[in-house]
Amino acid sequence: MAYGEKVLDHYENPRNVGKFDQNESDIGTGMVGAPACGDVMRLQIKVNDAGVIEDAVFKTYGCGSAIASSSLLTEWVKGKTLDEAKAIKNTQLAEELALPPVKIHCSVLAEDAINAAVEDYKKKHA
Amino acid sequence: MNDKTNKPIYLDYSATTPIDERVVTEMIKYMGPEGVFGNPASRSHAYGWTAEKAVEQARQHIADLVGADAREIIFTSGATESDNLAIKGSAHFNKKRGQHIITCKTEHKAVLDSCRQLEREGFEVTYLDPEANGLVDLEKLKAAMRDDTTLVSIMHVNNEIGVIQDIEAIGNACRERKIIFHVDAAQSAGKIPMNLESLPVDLMSFSAHKIYGPKGMGALYVQRKPRVRLEAQMHGGGHERGMRSGTLATHQIVGMGEAFRIANEEMATENERLITLRNRLWDGLKDMEEVYINGDIKQRVAGNLNISFNYVEGESLLMALKDLAISSGSACTSASLEPSYVLRALGRNDELAHSSIRFSMGRYTTNQDIDTTVAHVRTAVEKLRDLSPLWDMYKDGVDISSIEWAAH
């Protein structure tokens, strides 16, 4: 299948690939998806005392659109508060990357990932 | 990329092949106003006679390759039509005798969907599970046979994993029970020597485009002694002994005949060359961590290598390998996200089934192509593993199957 330009860009040059220690108190980790479905995303955020996301990293097992969705998301969440990050919708990612209908689930997965990361961080600080 | 043509390196010969130039040269003679364009069924003039002669010569070439009598070859539009005609035609003809059919879960969709159609009509179908190496267990097949079984359909060479079934043993088991045996040989004709005079096979499907002939052209072998009877699926002028009506496509048939003639001449040397290429490819990749060959390595057609690169998703790997024309067993492009049904039937776990790539080599593949492929694949797999959380977990010693994943 043919991929859009932005998907290709994020796939070729993924931003913020990496891993934080998930046991650190300032880290929130969201791992979503399943190998059986062909995609697994791990999104991690580093949150400062003011509740702002200072840094974000990801690793994704999945198709190009899944990699691009998570890569783009790490760019978007940086500098955002937890609530702002949670407000990001999959439709925004899908629109920015011009995902075709069969790839919309990749953006849904990315939204799930940031929500899970925020929840993980909040649980640590509850 | 291929340096000369700037096109991706073609390693998808199991999907289709280019038409050999020698075949093209023959086909063109049967098309234009100056060529032999007549209807082979026209009995009243030379246009028809010469076309008929060409058709019969092609039929002979096809028969020669597989050790059949030319009168046992029925032309069709391709292996899909041949499979449909063989399975539905035979099941319908014998339905008073019984309505049970046996096939295997790793068959081509043309076979599986023909069986599904028969199920809708009230037939019963047993879908055998293959062994982990992709081969059918003869004892399990025998155990599935019933008094009302009229047809067994097992492919010769699997299109995805290239494994070769023991059709002689299966055919003998069918003969003992007087069950008709159909073999889809789309991926084996011209690649594996066979002699239908002695092979216990009643019906065999062929394709032209898998062996350097034209697309839209195939044939069905229908044994004459003892005579195998079919109910026609296409009705009309009664061509091909009433089994398949429709004006014969002379140029296509000539192309198939020439392609099969060339295959007959070159099969032995070509197979040696292809095995060397396949070994070269595997030798270039086998020292990587977590790579697995899918399907039996010994009982395997020369040009096929199907490999799973664990912890890398197939579609993203294809995307990274855009300079190679290959195919993946992972069907992430469909909304269902289902991995290859063939690999699932072998009992491969989800990660491995999603991580498979089929390399199929052919007549125009060179050593240089293979070396370039090895380099590309190694780089791409390394890059994607750096991106893969599953690879991280594997490296950290986490057992991925122990995690409770939320399926979505």
pTM: 0.92
Residues of B in contact with A42 (CB under 8 A): 389, 392
Q: How far apart are alpha carbons B153 and B89 in whole angstroms?
A: 13
Buried b (16+ CB within 10 A) or exposed e, B313-345: bbbbbbbbbeebbbbbbbbbeeeebbbbbbbbb
Query: Does A63 sit within 8 Å of B400, measured CB to CB?
Result: no
Residue B359 pLDDT > 80: yes
Nearest CA distance, A76 vs chain B (angstrom): 19
Band of the pLDDT at B333, cuts 50, 70, 90? very low
Residues in chain A: 126
DSSP B373-407: HHHHHHHHHHHHHHH-HHHHHHHTT--GGGS----
Nearest CA distance, B141 vs chain A (angstrom): 30
Q: Is A37 a known active-site residue?
A: yes
Query: Out of A64, A102, A109, whose CB is closest to B408?
Result: A109
> In chain B, pLDDT over 90 holds for what percent of residues?
88
Residues of A in contact with B354 (CB under 8 A): 35, 38
In the 8-state DSSP scheme, what is residue B229?
Answer: -
Angle at which helix B109-120 crosses helix B79-93, to 10 degrees, equals 30
Query: Does B316 sit within 8 Å of A67, measured CB to CB?
Result: yes
Kindly state the tokens that stand for B267. Answer: 């099969």
Q: How far apart are alpha carbons B158 and B345 in whole angstroms?
A: 13
In the 8-state DSSP scheme, what is residue B210?
Answer: G
The three-state DSSP-derived secondary structure of B43-56 is CCCHHHHHHHHHHH
Q: How far apart are alpha carbons B181 and B337 in whole angstroms?
A: 34
Query: Does B408 sit within 8 Å of A105, measured CB to CB?
Result: yes
Q: How far apart are alpha carbons B220 and B291 in whole angstroms?
A: 38
Query: Does A61 sit within 8 Å of B387, measured CB to CB?
Result: yes
Specify the pLDDT at position B330: 59
Residues in chain B: 408
Question: Which of B316, B334, B340, B351 would you mutate first to test chain A, the one with the most A CBs within 10 A?
Answer: B316
Kindly state the tokens that stand for A95. Answer: 């629109």
DSSP B98-147: --EEEEETTS-HHHHHHHHHHHHTT-EEEEEPP-TTSPPPHHHHHHH--T
Note the pLDDT tens digit of each residue in A78-112. Answer: 999 999 999 999 999 999 999 998 899 999 999 99
Alpha helices in chain A (DSSP H): 5-12, 64-77, 82-86, 90-97, 104-124
Cis peptide before B226 (omega within 30 of 0): yes
Kindly state the tokens that stand for B140. Answer: 């399990």
Note the pLDDT tens digit of each residue in B388-402. Answer: 999 999 999 988 888
More confident residue, A52 or B339: A52
In the block, tokens 């011209």 appear at B190
Query: Does B406 sit within 8 Å of A37, measured CB to CB?
Result: no
Note the pLDDT tens digit of each residue in B76-109. Answer: 999 999 999 999 999 999 999 999 999 999 999 9
Give B196's Cβ-side CA count (13 Å radius): 30
Note the pLDDT tens digit of each residue in B200-229. Answer: 999 999 999 999 999 999 999 999 999 999
In the 8-state DSSP scheme, what is residue B21?
Answer: H
ipTM reported for the complex, 2 dp: 0.94
Strands across the sheet containing B180-184: B73-76, B218-222, B203-207, B180-184, B149-153, B100-104, B124-128
Note the pLDDT tens digit of each residue in B250-295. Answer: 999 999 999 999 999 999 999 999 999 999 999 999 999 999 999 9
Beta-ladder partners of B102: B126, B152
Which sequence positions of B are flagged as catalytic? 332
